[in-house]
A and B are shown apart, each in its own frame.
Chain A
Amino acid sequence: MRDEFAVDESGMTSDGYHRLLPACKKSMYVSNAITMAILIILEALGLTFLKDFLGDWYDTTLYITIALLVIVAIYMLFGPQVFYRRYRYRIDDEKAEIRRGVITITHTLVPIERIHQVQVAKGPINRMFGLANVNITTAGGVAVLEYLDIETAESIASKLNECVVGILKDRD
């Protein structure tokens, strides 16, 4: 593992980034399984109903779509592992930072001064595993802290909200 993602016994990197809980992988696998099932059903329905329309192209379309599904399945199988190993986040009084990515690794930096809104979002699958996302909205887009345990998500959201309110109070 690259140095920037290596963590010590406390679960933090040398420069103070936190890692996710292993439960996030379960949530991702459930979500991926549902997505995969939907894709397979769509493929089966599509190929059944379009059989006459496709004519001689039916076999070719079948092989191509199956190949694409296999690629997606491989990504969905190994993606959560890599995502978990690489996902790191850090919040302090000035900024929120996220390092993440499966194929492309991205480092996101959001100055707290630019935050407009902080929201805790709990989807049905995440709720099954006691997880939540924190959506950080700026005027230039949204950054999402994903798969945090609900307690951590609420505490981060309230800390960020306090910082934002503090900045606004200083301005008044």
Chain B
Amino acid sequence: MEEQVYDENLDSRTYRNHYSIVVQSLVSLLLMIGFVGFFGMISGGGFNPFSPVILLIVAVGLISVFVSIRIWMKTTFTFGPTEIVIVKDTYFKKSSNIQYTRLASVNVRRNIINHLFGTTTLLFNVNSSVNSTSAEATLTLPMDEADRLREMVSARIFQREMVVEEDKKEETLVEISNFDVILHGFFGQPTRSTVIGLIFLAYSLITMFIGDGSSLIGWLVFGFTSIVPWIRTILRYYNYRIYRVDDTITVESGLINNYRSSFNIKKVNSVRIREPLLARAMRKSLLEAEVVGLADSNGLPLLCPLKNRKVVDALAQQLVPEFIFESNNQTQPRESLVPTMLYKIFWAAVFAIIGVAIFLYVTNTYSISELDKYFLYGVVSLLSLLIPLLLIIHGALAQKNREFEMGQETFLLITGAYDRQREYIRYDKVQKCDVSSGPIQRRFGVGTCMVGLMSAQGFRGIRSGIFRRDELELIGKEVMDRIRDGRYDYRRYL
């Protein structure tokens, strides 16, 4: 049995949030008034502090500040020997108990308000698919007090003595320069997002130069789909550090807001090495982990931003060796070639026919201007040539890329065609397994497998490539065998 490093008989300690959380809600109110005022001014109406909209916002804001003060005063967090008890004695009385064994992670967040008031916000996340993206308990305390509490709670969750000051001195397992983070922000996005962004960029440029100049919507969409996520990623992962002490992995990053997340390796469901198309061309990849109770609005926990493929592979071996195994590069079998390609050829033909039909219909029905003719040629070429070609190449790459292999504790699914993901999944975390085969796949004895996992953002299905059905059925069989013969023991993951 693992040694418990905390004292079960320790007295309980009760905390209340730092008063700065009220200031935070006041800042939100001021920002909203500023936003409305700014739009009032740029729309020519000027800034009128007594306009009905501003007065309404102020009224709503003051009520929310009053509510925030009440919540701040009437909410307490008691850290007992085995659980956290959160009591809200506001308009709705509520008490929740969170056992330390159910916690997946303790996260630290420091935003501008925290920096100004010298506080730290601690986020306690439960290993559950319900509300997995929001913390079950959020507590803001003065920095030194937060560090002491974090040490105490971490000791109880991870069963190891932890000293925040010593943890800060831990060497990072991989050197990530801020230039790497900038590259990650740009090339780490899935190719689909990059293409959508580029389409809107092209649209904005075309309408700016040859259209009527009304390209604002295009620029806005390009900004929100490409530039904003890029900047957000850079701000989030600047000054990146990662280290592992015993079974606890800690990730630190942040330029303006600082984040520090710690989680136990037992809470990791799967590990994914992702290579978007442009990153692949540069021989770069990134490492992510599926840890329930650790995701936030930025998505999956990142273990390594975009970095040289060999560096990422070496880091994965060092950081999460429990997941990685030597693969024999078993790509899709020959039997999968026809189902894979026929599917792509079918859709390529559908797009080609639609393109030709549009061309024939428009040219036979309307007399169109020279400019519209170029637009028509563009659309028809896209539908009848480019998309079918990309689909055929997608099929060929999928046949070459996709792999499936079973290891001792985990199995490997390599998916994708243009973008490529290598995902190592724990058998013990598979919740549900579906093996499917369409009519053509059945003729060749092949199919696909979808495994359902509890994920950092609820639940997620991961679909394999096209492999022999009897081989894919072995995943479910192995999951059952492990439960049956005791290799799966729920206590391993508490």
Contact = CB atoms under 8 A, between A and B. Distances in A.
Interface stretch (A10-18, A123-131, A135-143, A148-156): A135-143
B436 A109 contact: no
A102 B146 CA distance: 58
Contacts of A113: 483, 488
Contacts of B490: 171
A169 interface: no
Interface residues of B, number: 30
Interface residues of A, number: 22
A111 B488 CA distance: 12
Contacts of B452: 138, 140-141
B436 A114 contact: no
A101 B439 CA distance: 11
Interface string B132-175: 00000000000000000000000000000000000000000000
Given A95-B480, A105-B442, A111-B480, A141 B432 contact: yes
Contacts of A101: 436
Nearest to A142: B432
B479 interface: yes
A152 to B, nearest CB: 22
B461 A94 contact: no
B382 interface: no
B436 A104 contact: yes
A104 B452 CA distance: 18
Interface in B411-433: 430-433
A105 B432 contact: no
Contacts of B484: 94
A104 B434 CA distance: 12
B461 A107 contact: no
Contacts of B431: 110, 114, 138-141
A141 B438 contact: no
A106 B435 contact: yes
A103 interface: yes
Given A109-B476, A140-B454, A141-B459, A56 B365 contact: yes
A60 interface: yes
A124 to B, nearest CB: 28
A111 B365 contact: no
A106 B463 CA distance: 13
Contacts of B438: 103-104
A108 interface: yes
B129 interface: yes
Interface in A28-55: none
Contacts of B21: none
Given A111-B480, A171-B490, A139 B433 contact: no
Interface string B447-466: 00001111000011100000
A113 B482 CA distance: 11
Interface of B: 128-129, 361, 365, 430-439, 442, 451-454, 459-461, 473, 476, 479-480, 483-484, 488, 490
Interface of A: 56, 60, 94-95, 101, 103-111, 113-114, 138-141, 143, 171
21 contacts: A101-B436, A103-B439, A106-B436, A107-B434, A108-B433, A108-B434, A109-B434, A110-B431, A110-B432, A110-B433, A111-B483, A113-B483, A114-B431, A114-B432, A139-B459, A140-B452, A140-B459, A141-B432, A141-B452, A141-B461, A143-B432
Given A95-B480, A138-B431, 13 more contacts: A56-B365, A60-B361, A94-B480, A94-B484, A106-B434, A107-B435, A109-B480, A111-B480, A111-B483, A114-B431, A139-B454, A140-B454, A140-B459
Across chains A and B, which 9 residue pairs bring their CB atoms closest together, nearest first? Answer: A140-B431, A140-B452, A139-B454, A141-B452, A138-B431, A109-B476, A106-B436, A114-B431, A109-B433
